[in-house]
């Protein structure tokens, strides 16, 4: 099951003569009259033909207006004027599925599609709690790959600890849910960070590599320091035994 974009993939239907024709989605959706409905379609590739269903769900008025504004803005950014057909299609959510309508109604398909947001939340947690998208390395370099693999390991360890320590609290989506893993993961992630920070600086054999890893990368403008005349005065004071400058 996936979100269908009428502009990127053609779907077909049989006409009254049994001939396969491309679907005119603007006309098809207008017949629904702003009501949700299931539309039988065919996905064709060469000589193969797969029977599917498109569940058409109209957006609420407020979200439909927002979708139209976004469609107009995308067209403007490309130096074009959005077609009325494009604006009309933006007011609908089209869900393509190979599951027969007898097993998956339009209402259930729409509810199931909304659950996809949980995937986005997992990615958001990885970015916010583990900073998985912040790599101190050049793109596509071996160091970047090492950073990413290390952070993925960090994410797996965090999740395993959460599952082991809070088994009863981490409810799955097949029943009522009382909380999200956000605060649990944040607590565990902070504990892991504290352990790592406490470990490396205290072991002298790691200090040089540790400081190198957190140092600033080469840049055109060097980090500021005191002017040489002031540094000379400080050296003289130290030679004279003055402890404070």
Q: How confident is the model at residue 243 (pLDDT cuts 50, 70, 90)?
A: low
Predicted confidence (pLDDT) at residue 7 exceeds the cutoff of 70: yes
Overall average pLDDT of the 3-32 stretch? 89
Q: What is the pLDDT of residue 29?
A: 93
Quick check: pTM over 0.75?
A: no
**Integer Cα distance of 56 and 212 in angstroms:** 56
**Integer Cα distance of 71 and 86 in angstroms:** 7
Q: What is the pLDDT of residue 60?
A: 93
Residue 131 tokens read as 């900073």
Quickly count: other Cβ atoms within 10 Å of residue 162's Cβ.
18
More confident residue, 151 or 197: 151
**What do you get for the CA distance between the two ends of the chain, in Å?**
71
Predicted confidence (pLDDT) at residue 240 exceeds the cutoff of 60: yes
Angle between helix 142-165 and 117-130 (nearest 10): 110
Predicted confidence (pLDDT) at residue 187 exceeds the cutoff of 60: yes
Q: What percent of the chain has pLDDT over 90?
A: 31
Sheet containing 2-3: which strands, arranged edge to edge? 2-3, 92-97, 48-58, 37-45, 12-14, 20-22
Helix-, strand-, coil-residue percentages of the chain, each rounded to 5: 50, 15, 40
pLDDT by residue (tens digit) across 109-168?
999 888 888 888 888 888 887 788 887 778 888 888 888 888 888 888 888 888 888 876
Residue 129 tokens read as 């709690």
Kindly list the domain boundaries of the chain, sorted by start residue: 2-101, 118-214
pLDDT by residue (tens digit) across 24-39?
999 999 999 889 999 9
Predicted confidence (pLDDT) at residue 66 exceeds the cutoff of 80: yes
Q: What is the DSSP string of 162-181?
A: HHHH-TTTS--TTS-----S
Overall average pLDDT of the 15-25 stretch? 88
Range in 57-61, 81-85, 118-122 with the lowest mean pLDDT = 118-122
Q: What is the pLDDT of residue 244?
A: 62
**Integer Cα distance of 94 and 1 in angstroms:** 10
Give the mean pLDDT of the chain: 85
Length of the chain: 245
Angle between helix 142-165 and 182-199 (nearest 10): 120
Alpha carbon separation from 64 to 19, 57, 67, 91, 96 (Å, rounded): 34, 11, 5, 5, 20
Predicted confidence (pLDDT) at residue 40 exceeds the cutoff of 90: yes
More confident residue, 60 or 17: 60
Predicted confidence (pLDDT) at residue 86 exceeds the cutoff of 70: yes
Q: What is the pLDDT of residue 201?
A: 59
Q: What is the pLDDT of residue 171?
A: 65
**Integer Cα distance of 197 and 202 in angstroms:** 9
């Amino acid at each position: 099951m996936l979100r269908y974009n009428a502009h990127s993939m053609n779907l077909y239907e049989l006409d009254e003569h049994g001939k396969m024709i491309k679907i005119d989605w603007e006309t098809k959706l207008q017949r629904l009259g702003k009501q949700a409905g299931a539309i039988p379609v065919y996905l064709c590739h060469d000589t193969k033909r797969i029977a599917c269903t498109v569940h058409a769900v109209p957006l609420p008025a407020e979200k439909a207006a927002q979708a139209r504004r976004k469609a107009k803005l995308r067209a403007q950014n490309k130096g074009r004027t959005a077609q009325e057909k494009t604006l009309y299609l933006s007011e609908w959510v089209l869900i393509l599925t190979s599951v027969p309508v007898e097993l998956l109604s339009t209402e259930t398909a729409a509810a199931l599609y909304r659950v996809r947001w949980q995937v986005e939340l997992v990615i958001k947690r990885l970015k916010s709690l583990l900073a998985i998208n912040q790599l101190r390395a050049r793109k596509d370099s071996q160091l970047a790959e090492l950073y990413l693999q290390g952070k993925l390991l960090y994410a797996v360890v965090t999740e395993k600890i959460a599952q082991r320590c809070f088994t009863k609290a981490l409810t799955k989506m097949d029943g009522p849910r009382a909380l999200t893993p956000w605060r649990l993961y944040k607590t565990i992630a902070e504990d892991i960070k504290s352990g790592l920070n406490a470990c490396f600086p205290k072991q002298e054999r790691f200090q040089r590599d540790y400081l190198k890893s957190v140092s600033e990368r080469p840049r055109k403008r060097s980090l500021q320091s005191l002017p040489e005349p002031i540094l000379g005065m400080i050296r003289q004071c130290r030679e004279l035994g003055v402890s404070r400058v």
